[in-house]
Amino acid sequence: MRLNEYFTLLMIRNKKIVLFFYSMLFGLLANAQDLHFSQWFNSPLTTNPANTGFIPDADYRIGANYRNQWSAVMFEPYKTMSIWGDAQVFRNRIQNGWLGLGGVILRDQAGSGNLTSTQAYASIAYHQMLGYSSLLTAGFNVGWVNKRINSANLKFPDQFDGKFFDHTLPTSVQIDQPSVNFFDMQVGMNYAYFPSNNVYVNGGFSVWHLNRARESFFSTDPAGFDSRLPMRYLAFFNSSFKANENVILNPMAYYSNQSGSSEAVAGLNIQYNLSHDGDEQVIGGLYYRVGDSFIPMIGFVYQNIRLTFTYDVTASSLSKYNSGNGAWEFALSHYGYYTEYNGNRRESLCPNFKH
């Protein structure tokens, strides 16, 4: 369960509303977390706003992500999707630096109450070269968030007939505002080091929900409860090492902490060159989410289009409920160059198969 849904449900429980399915199956087993993708490295703008325009081997990129989680055990599984894009601008106007502009739209739906989140963010980042082999970046984004819930599909304590929860029975519980809107803000920094054409190392840190917007379906909070979004702290590391003309290794790691709930993922993928110029590649990898799941990955690159697929194989105690079927996810992206840069753009910052 992601953290925003956790707090929403927690607020509802404080009003003595029971979401029967969650309380019976996931109330004690689920970790709280924000909207997230297993392929965080293929969703750059939801990982760190400083990634905006941070494109080592292209001038712009667009992408889409889709995640389906817990379909094996939930009547209405989590479905998270996004579309995003960013670009480098002012490359010829700023000495040894440039701006990155971008945006992302996310939509998430989960649970029998159709808890739906729609988010739209615009982001900007500044990138400054430090000598010939380092790059420092700072960025931020701001966006609008809408969350709504269909209370007609929820089950309340006074709808229990002694054997089952019957939503057709009247209830005394009323949700004040089934749809809420608020603004959200993030900030982040990145650093990259690329001493040669065969080595690239990059790490970043970001803070999410800086303004701590209030998120509640009730007009007032219960005594002792704070419905403001807690800040989320996120760090990541990725790297590329060219082993030979046909193999590039990409070790990566990711850590997130929000209100005491954390997520740590680490692993490796391998790019294998199928063509002389790198226009065709296959990708394979394996990641591990600590205490939760193994995440195998497969993918393919054709010219400037990349498609990757991951499957979360649950390794925690939750596997007894979902038979190990955690989530499946795909990411599709396109990387491109401006027409005026074709043929004379400086070399890529990270290892590649181009000759």
Q: Consecutive sets of 10 residues in the chain, 355 residues long: mean pLDDT of each? A: 41 37 33 74 96 93 92 69 96 88 93 81 97 95 92 70 69 78 97 95 97 87 84 96 95 94 95 90 97 95 95 82 78 88 59 78
Looking at residue 352, its pLDDT comes to: 87
DSSP state of 225: -
Looking at residue 31, its pLDDT comes to: 38
Looking at residue 100, its pLDDT comes to: 97
Looking at residue 14, its pLDDT comes to: 39
Looking at residue 109, its pLDDT comes to: 85
Looking at residue 316, its pLDDT comes to: 80
CATH among 2.70.98.60, 3.40.50.10860, 2.40.160.40, 3.20.20.120 for 3-341: 2.40.160.40
Looking at residue 9, its pLDDT comes to: 41
pTM: 0.83
Looking at residue 94, its pLDDT comes to: 85
CA–CA distance from 181 to each of 119, 122, 136, 143, 184 (Å)? 10, 17, 34, 11, 10
With contact defined as beta carbons under 8 Å apart, do 153 and 11 qualify?
Answer: no
Looking at residue 321, its pLDDT comes to: 63
Looking at residue 173, its pLDDT comes to: 67
- Quick check: helix, strand or coil at residue 219? coil
DSSP string covering 232-268, please? EEEEEEEEEEEEETTEEEEEEEEEEEETTEEEEEEEE
Alpha-carbon distance of 70 to 68, in angstroms, equals 7
